[in-house]
């Protein structure tokens, strides 16, 4: 009864069955799943998991002795600490951009350049390149208000736009440094970072092309309307869409809530990538202060708060003279964001309890002697770990740890780059209820759980498998050794 695979199966049945079968609220189903998984996990497995993560034996033993409620609350809090401020401020940015007309102004400007038919492609490519330096969830927060405004402008294709945003951001996040997962991977497998950036971009563009065709098919098969939401009522967005150009804020001002966090996060990422440990960038006091300022505002929480302040200022300027003030808009945004935070944190708690079962080590042990070709094996290991515990980053770390020795093998018939890319593509499969990113996309887009499972999950499966095929062909034709 203590096999991690059995515990995983029970957790899946409880969460998926609770949400789809019993119509439980996702927050309750995820907490119930986390409780049952934690209850079934023996103390020895928890202690071993902590030790493999680098925890001191005394601290690992203390973790194993903690009661179930405390362990669940800890993982809940860790997830909340990672995404709480981001989601709250992103909800404010989205609400302010919609209410002020900033999102409408950006959409009108984009349509003048791309035209209506090519707008989804613009969303796809934009989210991919924004997703290279910026965290996946931040891309979703910044672009979802634009998808809602665009849908009202063109009157169709809401699901297509949502899937395009998801496709671009997800693939960049696991394939192209300086995203955190690929950065760890290149260090572990000794792949030159420049080579990974070029290879990841090429494979990423091919995978999002297949994702785009899947999104077109899904949009036709399951056309999904833009629904009313607490922070984005359709009648309000329609009223803004009917305004004349002169009633909307200028394009430069409208872009500030998005550009401020984007520019600071990108600048901080670039500085981190160029830094040499223990060696200062410059001797100039002025430049050192400037770098410190960029590093301060480049923190993702501070960057998004800065974007939120800019969004509030744009809204205040547009509502000048209005008696209602900004409080109703902020309150509506926070009520919506609060629900997303709770569900996402509960998903993090469920995923955390699954990790403590030792599921990653169990999968590693099952595959260590698997005599399959290395590239598909790398893909397979990452995919199974991702599906089992919900984190693409954990899948990257686990798979690269298993295969790092093979990557440095002199008799390898192709460059280790291909193993790294295969791991990145495999880490996309399969997102479901134990994945915090799944809930962020699901709730920000107002898709139901069933809609998300039949569109978002297969979208990433299609792109991941496309990447595997492309990588295997490239390794055969261009081994780079």
Residue ranges per domain, the chain? Answer: 81-176+197-207+224-338
DSSP reduced 3-state for 56: coil
Q: Mind listing the pLDDT tens digit for each residue in 90-140?
A: 778 877 877 787 877 777 777 778 777 888 888 888 888 777 766 677 778
Show the DSSP H helices in 68-192 as ranges. Answer: 68-100, 102-114, 119-130, 136-154, 158-175, 180-188
Spatial distance between the Cα atoms of 369 and 340, rounded to a whole number of angstroms? 42
The answer to whether 137 touches 83, Cβ cutoff 8 Å, is: yes
pLDDT for residue 231 is more than 70: no
Output the average pLDDT for the chain. Answer: 80
Confidence at residue 151, expressed as pLDDT on a 0 to 100 scale: 84
What's the rounded Cα separation, in Å, for the pair 107 and 102? 9
Q: At CB < 8 A and 24+ separation, what contacts does 6-15 make?
A: 6/40, 7/37, 7/40, 7/41, 7/354, 7/357, 7/359, 8/37, 8/354, 8/357, 8/359, 8/388, 10/36, 10/37, 10/40, 11/36, 11/37, 11/350, 11/353, 11/354, 11/434, 15/350, 15/433, 15/434
Establish how many alpha carbons lie within 13 A of residue 378's alpha carbon, considering only the half-sphere containing its beta carbon: 28
Taking 90 as the threshold, does the pLDDT of residue 89 lie above it? Answer: no
At residue 363, the pLDDT reads 66
Q: Has residue 396 got a pLDDT over 90?
A: no
Question: Which one has a higher pLDDT value, 40 or 433?
Answer: 40
Query: What ranges make up the beta strands (E) of 353-416?
Result: none
Please check the confidence at residue 448 and state whether its pLDDT lies above 90: no
Dihedrals phi, psi of 276, to nearest 5 degrees: -110, 125
Q: What integer is the mean pLDDT of 62-82?
A: 86
Supply the pTM of this predicted model.
Answer: 0.72
pLDDT tier for residue 87 given thresholds of 50, 70 and 90: confident
Tell whether the model's pLDDT for residue 148 goes beyond 80. yes
Rounded CA separation 149/151 (Å): 5
Q: What is the pLDDT of residues 427-442, one digit of tens each?
A: 888 887 777 778 888 8
């Amino acid at each position: 009864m203590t096999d991690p695979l059995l515990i995983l199966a029970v957790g899946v049945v409880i969460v998926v069955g609770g949400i789809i079968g019993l119509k439980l609220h996702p927050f309750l189903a995820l907490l119930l799943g986390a409780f049952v998984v934690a209850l079934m996990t023996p103390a020895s497995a928890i202690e071993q998991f902590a030790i493999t993560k680098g925890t001191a034996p005394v601290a690992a033993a203390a973790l194993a002795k903690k009661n179930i409620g405390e362990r669940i609350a800890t993982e809940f809090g860790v997830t909340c600490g990672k995404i709480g401020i981001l989601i709250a401020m992103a909800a404010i940015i989205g609400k302010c951009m919609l209410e002020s007309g900033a999102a409408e102004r950006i959409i009108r400007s984009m349509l003048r350049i791309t035209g209506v038919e090519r707008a989804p492609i613009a969303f796809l490519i934009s989210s991919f390149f924004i997703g290279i330096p910026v965290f996946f969830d931040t891309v979703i927060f910044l672009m979802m208000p634009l998808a809602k405004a665009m849908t009202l402008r063109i009157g169709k294709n809401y699901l297509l736009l949502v899937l395009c945003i998801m496709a671009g951001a997800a693939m960049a996040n696991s394939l192209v440094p300086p995203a955190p997962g690929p950065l760890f991977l290149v260090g572990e497998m000794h792949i030159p970072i420049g080579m990974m950036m070029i290879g990841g971009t090429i494979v990423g563009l091919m995978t999002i092309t297949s994702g785009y065709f899947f999104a077109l098919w899904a949009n036709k098969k399951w056309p999904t309307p833009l629904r009313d939401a607490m922070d984005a009522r359709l009648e309000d967005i329609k009223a803004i869409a009917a305004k004349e150009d002169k009633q909307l804020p200028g394009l430069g001002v409208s872009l500030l809530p998005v550009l401020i966090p984007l520019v600071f996060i990108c600048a901080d990422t670039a500085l981190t990538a160029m830094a040499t440990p223990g060696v200062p960038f410059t001797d100039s006091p002025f430049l050192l202060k400037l770098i410190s300022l960029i590093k301060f505002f480049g923190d993702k929480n501070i960057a998004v708060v800065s974007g939120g302040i800019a969004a509030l200022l744009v809204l205040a300027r547009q509502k000048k003279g209005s008696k209602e003030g900004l409080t109703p808009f902020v309150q509506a945004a926070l009520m919506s964001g609060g629900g997303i935070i709770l569900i996402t944190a509960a998903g993090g708690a469920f995923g955390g309890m699954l990790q403590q079962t030792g599921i990653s080590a169990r999968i590693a042990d099952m595959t260590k002697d698997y005599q399959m070709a290395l590239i598909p094996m790398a893909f397979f290991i990452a995919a199974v770990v991702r599906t089992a515990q919900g984190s693409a980053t954990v899948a990257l770390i686990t798979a690269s740890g298993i295969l790092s020795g093979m990557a440095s093998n002199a008799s390898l018939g192709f460059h280790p780059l291909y193993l790294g890319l295969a791991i990145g593509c495999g880490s996309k499969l399969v997102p479901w209820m134990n994945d915090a990113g799944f809930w962020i996309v699901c709730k920000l887009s107002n898709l139901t759980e069933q809609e998300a499972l039949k569109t978002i999950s297969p979208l990433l499966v299609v792109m991941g498998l496309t990447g595997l095929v492309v990588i295997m062909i490239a390794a055969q034709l261009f081994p780079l050794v």
